[in-house]
Amino acid sequence: MANPLLEVRNLSVSYGDVRALFDVSLTVEEGLIVALVGSNGGGKSTLLKTISGLLHPTGGDVLFEGESLGKTSVKQRVDKGIVQVPEGRRLFANLTIRENLRLGAYLPKARANYKDSLERVFGLFPVLKERQNGKAGLLSGGEQQMLAIGRAVMAQPKLIMIDEASLGLSPILTKTIFDLIDALHEQGTTTLLIEQNVNMALKHCDKAYVMRTGNIVMSGTGDELLADEELRKAYLGRRAVAESRGGES
Ligand SMILES: Nc1ncnc2c1ncn2[C@@H]1O[C@H](COP(=O)(O)OP(=O)(O)OP(=O)(O)O)[C@@H](O)[C@H]1O
Ligand SMILES: [Mg+2]
């Protein structure tokens, strides 16, 4: 197994009196695609925001490349290579695509490699190259998700974390987004992604964790979890189960 890039150890997080994460531990090895799935309110976004440094744990620790992040700021984490694609994309609708991408490379290290990163993003997302001078707000939902991921790539992530990769997208665009995640994977980027389409997530990931009410309740390779009857009943609709059976043959 490759070296752990990210280790989450016994992490607890609360919103005021409400505890959202209970002793959560997980490991993301270098070069893998790891999926976080599970029911609404399970704590997936809370976990990603804590890894990004937007929320502070009440207990436990996050280690990146073997070092405790402690109270490292969001900006310092981005500089280390931990970059989140937020839920809802958070693009600047009135700025152009190129301007949005430039904002992804705002830290000195990333700015120094701006041109190479832009070529990389345009290589991955030709539609963004074609429309680079158009306003981000005019892109379709799927294109906006591409831009949000592209903006994260501009920051030269070692670990890219995507909250709700395919939310609101058609099946075809969902597939496009997953193809892009695969392309990033082939370029060596490690990915931690939250995905509501459990079937799709399990098929694309190397490993997955299932969260429920602030706990990790199951983990394994994508194939192991796809074969798990309990998980199929809980998280995969009948159609998805049939599709995944079809996919196995
Ligand atoms: N800003 C907040 N203030 C108070 N409670 C919050 C806040 N954000 C989330 N919570 C609560 O923390 C718990 C975990 O929420 P979180 O958003 O992390 O879940 P999730 O797994 O991402 O859910 P979803 O699949 O619906 O996006 C939930 O009970 C939620 O209501
Ligand atoms: Mg969420």
Quick check: CB of 44 below 6 Å from ligand 1? yes
Which pLDDT value is given to residue 165? 86
Instruction: Report the separation in Å between the CA atom of 111 and the middle of ligand 2, taken as the mean of its atom positions.
Output: 30
Instruction: Report the separation in Å between the CA atom of 109 and the middle of ligand 2, taken as the mean of its atom positions.
Output: 30
Instruction: Report the separation in Å between the CA atom of 107 and the middle of ligand 2, taken as the mean of its atom positions.
Output: 27
Average the pLDDT over 223-240 and give the result.
78
Against a cut of 0.85, is the pTM above it? yes
Which pLDDT value is given to residue 245? 53
- Starting from the CA of residue 20, give the closest ligand: 1
pLDDT greater than 70 at residue 247: no
Nearest residue (by CA) to ligand 1, atom 6, is 15
Nearest residue (by CA) to ligand 1, atom 5, is 15
pLDDT-derived band at 242, boundaries 50, 70, 90: low
pLDDT greater than 60 at residue 49: yes
Concatenated DSSP letters for the chain? -PPEEEEEEEEEEEETTEEEEEEEEEEEETT-EEEEEESTTSSHHHHHHHHHTSS--SEEEEEETTEE-TT--HHHHHHHTEEEE-TT----TTSBHHHHHHHHT-SHHHHHTHHHHHHHHHHH-HHHHHTTTSBGGGS-HHHHHHHHHHHHHHT--SEEEEESTTTT--HHHHHHHHHHHHHHHHTT-EEEEE-S-HHHHHHH-SEEEEEETTEEEEEE-HHHHHT-HHHHHHHS-HHHHHHHHHHH-
- Starting from the CA of residue 40, give the closest ligand: 1
Quick check: CB of 45 below 6 Å from ligand 1? yes
Which pLDDT value is given to residue 238? 52
Instruction: Report the separation in Å between the CA atom of 116 and the middle of ligand 1, taken as the mean of its atom positions.
Output: 37
Ranges 25-29, 115-119, 171-175: which has the least confidence: 171-175
Quick check: CB of 46 below 6 Å from ligand 1? yes
Nearest residue (by CA) to ligand 1, atom 17, is 45
pLDDT greater than 50 at residue 15: yes
